[in-house]
Amino acid sequence: MAEAELDFLNLKRVMNIIRMGVLGSSVVLLMAGCISHHETVYRDVERRPVEFENDVAARIFYETVMRSRNAGERTEVRTDVSLPVVFDHKKRVVSGPNVAFNEAVTMCDTNKDGRVTVQEARIYAELKRRKG
């Protein structure tokens, strides 16, 4: 074979290698995707029964709870689909407002009799105020 013919064959071989590289890279880029699922669920529990000594105790308690309470029950679901095929699933469960209420009753009702007195409500309000 002539030298020009060998150069042409080498050039053709190099072009084929470049084409295969570009084609392979394109396939990899097109097949590379991501499927991810992120979910946040707000769960709530039964509200604990509680009695109050009088209206003053109830008002102090509820005002203190409302200042530190989170938003109500809700569910947020977000699903993203993109390219490469990798599956990612995330789920987050967040406590609802009744959990905070029950914790407040437990903290406030110091003698655990199921009845909040004015003194207990004032002490609870002062503790929450100091904690900020």
Number of domains in the chain: 1
Could you report the per-residue pLDDT of 107-117, keeping only the tens digit for each? 999 999 999 99
Sign of CA dihedral 53, 55, 56, 62: positive
Domain annotation covers residue 55: yes
Summarize the confidence of residues 25-43 as an average pLDDT: 68
Q: Is 64's pLDDT higher than 80?
A: yes
Could you report the per-residue pLDDT of 72-84, keeping only the tens digit for each? 444 445 555 555 5
- 6-10, 48-52, 55-59, 82-86: which range is least confident on average? 82-86
* pLDDT score, position 39: 80
* pLDDT score, position 81: 56
CA 57, CA 4: separation in Å to the nearest integer? 102
pTM for this predicted structure: 0.55
**Residue 130 — φ and ψ, nearest 5°?**
-65, -35
Domain annotation covers residue 2: no
Q: Range of 50's domain? A: 33-131
Q: Look at 47 and 98; give whichever has higher pLDDT.
A: 47
Domain annotation covers residue 13: no
Domain annotation covers residue 17: no
Q: Is 52's pLDDT higher than 90?
A: yes
* pLDDT score, position 26: 64
Tell me the two tokens of residue 22: 């570009």
Domain annotation covers residue 10: no
Domain annotation covers residue 54: yes
CA 96, CA 92: separation in Å to the nearest integer? 13
Q: In the predicted model, what is the mean pLDDT of the chain?
A: 78
